[in-house]
Structure formats: C-alpha cells, structure tokens
Amino acid sequence: MKTGYPLSAIATITTPYKQKFAIPRQPNLAEANGQIHFIDGFDNPLMLKGLEKYSHLWLLFIFHETLDRGWKPAVKAPRLGGNSTLGVFASRSTHRPNGIGMSVVKNAGAAINNGHLQLNVSGVDLLDQTPIIDIKPYIGYADSHPDAIDGLAELAPIPSRQVNFTATAQAQLHQVSQRFADIEALIIAVLRQDPRPAYRQSQETDPKIYKVKLYDVDVAWRVINGEVQVLELL
C-alpha cells in the first residue's frame, strides 16, 4: 500500500495574528480578516470561478510552526484544564501525525491586488503566513449538523470576560485605530476569551502581565477581579 503522497502549498494567508498565543481556539470567534495570496502556478482566476456563490469556505492548511515537534497519540486538552489528555484524533491539537488543520471562514470575495490574485476571508484563526493547501466550499446541508454533540461544551465553555481599557491604552488605541480600523474589536474579541494557559483561567485576579501581538501592535493586559484590563498598546 502506498503511504506517501505529495502535497504542495497553493497559497499563504496574511492575518493579524503574529504569534500563536491568543489566537482563538476555533474560527469565527473573532472577526479577524485574512488575505489569501496564491503561489505562482495556482494563481489562475479560473480556479475561483463560482466561488462567489458560497458564503463560507473550508481552508485546509499546514501547522507549519509545530511540524518539527512531532506528534503524540494523546495530547493535553485546554478545555479540560490543560492537564487531562485526549486522544489526538479526539482533539484539534496542532501536534498530529500529519500537521494539517482545517477552518471554516467567511468568503469576502476575490480581488486582483497589484496584479496578483487574492482571496479575502474573515473569521480566521490562522497564524500569519500559514501555508494553505486547499480551499473548498462550505455546503450547509452536508456540513452543518445541528444535532451534533460536543462532549466538552458543558465541561469547559469558552470564557467570555469583560474587556476594559485603561486611560493610557484608550489614548493609544485612538492612534493605532488610524492604521488598523478593526483593532479595537479584534482586541476585545481575542481577550474576552481569556487566552491565558488553561490552568490559570480559574484565577479571577492574576497580577502577571501578558502580551499578545496583533498586526504590529503589542497589547499588554492582565486579569483583575474577573475582567481583562488592557494596559498598553506598544
């Protein structure tokens, strides 16, 4: 039986997420925009003919920054507190036998940008410059299952914390918003999910200052009395 099959990246995606920390755990939990740039040989506009008829798309991609770490049959599950494990095939872990990920994103339309084919999407949860290996239309009647069961949903719901800006951060936000119009909404969407390590999420007050990079902005924040406090935008 043949066990090796070649795969080639067809594109890369540009996103606001410059580091793995704080990327939402699933797509569409934040309205982050992405631009898919096609590699030579895969940049024929005919490849996207008819795609405008679909509101959502599947992106298949490579977990390119974790491939060299290999994989394990059981992985730590953040939604179980970060200490319990699940089988790798019962998880969305990046550490897989084949480092392939999949995300549903919103189709924001194709465009020609500086002579190059580009596909715009939103609701992305991909690291900047992630290699894309395939794009497929999301088909509602086949892909959506309202009766599907998520065995972890009741055990560990995704956090939804209040996000506040200090006066310093608010002033800096006004300046940064001149360059990135969606930065405020993106910060709130990302931080309300409390991206701290799972074992810290039970701490309602955590004096540690965390930083997450969105676009070229380092956002400093901490959790005080159950609320996320944005301290500075650097």
Q: How confident is the model at residue 2 (pLDDT cuts 50, 70, 90)?
A: confident
**Domain extent listing, the chain:** 11-143, 163-233
Give the residues across from 223 on adjacent strands. Answer: 206, 228
Q: pTM for the whole thing?
A: 0.91
pLDDT at 18 over 90: yes
pLDDT in tens, 150-189: 776 666 677 899 999 999 999 999 999 999 999 999 999 9
The DSSP code for 13 is E
Distance from C-alpha of 42 to C-alpha of 223, rounded to nearest angstrom: 45
Task: Report the alpha-carbon angle 229-125-188, nearest 5.
Answer: 20
User: In the structure, what pLDDT confidence band is assigned to residue 49 with cuts at 50, 70 and 90?
Assistant: very high
**Which is the CATH superfamily of the domain at 11-143?**
YaeB-like (2.40.30.70)
